[in-house]
Amino acid sequence: KRKRVDEASITLDELLRRRIENPVCWIKADPERFWIRPVQVTQDEVMWIYMLRGDTDVLAQLDAVEGLRRLGLQMHVVDPLLSPKALEEVVKNRDYYYQVRIAAAKALAFYASRARHGKDEAETRMRQDAESNGEWKAGEEKPPMLAYRALNDYLKIHYYDSGNQIWRSNNFSDFADYFLKRGVIRAVATIQDNESLSPTKVVDCLVSLLKDNDNGRNAYSDCYYLHDLILCLGQIRLSKTESPEKIWDQISRYLEYDRVLPSYRNLISTAALRATCELMVADVLPRDKLRFKDFT
């Protein structure tokens, strides 16, 4: 008799127990960073996760995140559920240094971009193992979507007011949270599908963050935050049939806003012009040089 389980609800500890095959937890070369030359260690996915969870050294944790990201290039040797869950745990855990959490968010975005390429060997292997244990559930969520959902859920839980259906006002009093928010948004902007196009949900998320941005109650300037958001719009790639109007509306809006109330070192205008140029080069926006005329 088959047991119906939801793979997305299985805890990381349970997934790790299924994969214990090596008595060595992890390998760490040159822990004191005495060697001048770079050192790259190759080890199993589970060992990278144990290193990420067990080593308190920030540099070791960054190495572990990078190791998991590199393994994402070889999807046939990784568990399609294990790494996204481990990285999601890091992003949500405030005990980790914020730079480690940002690196984990970038790695999750990398997994989310690769996850939409259909069923690969790793997913097939996981399904065969689950079927042999009687734990396969038809129609379960695909692993790349787990990575995207982890980033999207983090933004929605921490910065979205579900009651009013609007993003909350900025609050940069917690500097670690401020830098993490910028890092997660930059990571989300890099997500692309198998045609190297930005998913509609990603585009709508970035546009709504700019549209609903409210810094009225914040004690700190949001110019660097808006700078990142607008540059993220420059990374969007649309198909020929999709209209870039909502993207250009936000860019032109902030160009006019920065002309009336200039930001520090005109960061907002600089980002808007750069994003416009990148979108023109990518043929998302029509190539119109006159748009730059007023800023020369």
Task: Dump pLDDT digits (tens) for 124-139.
Answer: 444 445 444 443 333 3
- Overall average pLDDT of the 138-158 stretch: 74
Q: Are 275 and 285 in contact (CB under 8 A)?
A: no
Contact status, residue 142 vs residue 115, Cβ threshold 8 Å: yes
Please state, in angstroms and as integers, the Cα–Cα distance from residue 141 to each residue in 37, 77, 91, 221, 273, following that order.
42, 20, 21, 40, 39
Measured from the Cβ of residue 75, the count of other Cβ atoms closer than 10 Å reads: 18
In the predicted structure, residue 116 carries a pLDDT above the cut 80: no
pLDDT tier, 18 (very low <50, low <70, confident <90, very high otherwise): low
Task: Give 273 or 117, the one with higher predicted confidence.
Answer: 273
Percent of the chain with pLDDT over 90: 54
- For residues 220 and 218, what is the distance between their CA atoms, to the nearest angstrom? 5
Q: Which helix or strand (DSSP H or E) is residue 264 part of?
A: none
Grade residue 77 by pLDDT with cuts at 50, 70 and 90: low
User: Measured in Å, how far apart are the chain's first and last C-alpha atoms?
Assistant: 72
Confidence class for position 239, pLDDT limits 50, 70, 90: confident
Asked if 63 and 27 count as a contact pair (C-beta separation under 8 A), the reply is: no
Across-strand partners of 164?
none
- C-beta atoms surrounding 245 within 10 Å: 8
Q: How confident is the model at residue 94 (pLDDT cuts 50, 70, 90)?
A: very high
Sign of CA dihedral 79, 80, 83, 85: negative
Residues 65 and 51: beta-carbon distance below 8 Å: no
The most confident of 118-122, 140-144, 192-196, 200-204, by mean pLDDT: 200-204
Q: What is the pTM of this model?
A: 0.83
Segment 151-177 shows an average pLDDT of 92
pLDDT digits (tens, 9 = 90+) for 188-229: 999 988 888 999 999 999 999 999 999 999 999 999 999 999
Q: What is the pLDDT of residue 29?
A: 87
User: What amino acid is encoded at 38 in this protein?
Assistant: P
Supply angle C-alpha 81, 208, 232, rounded to 5.
70
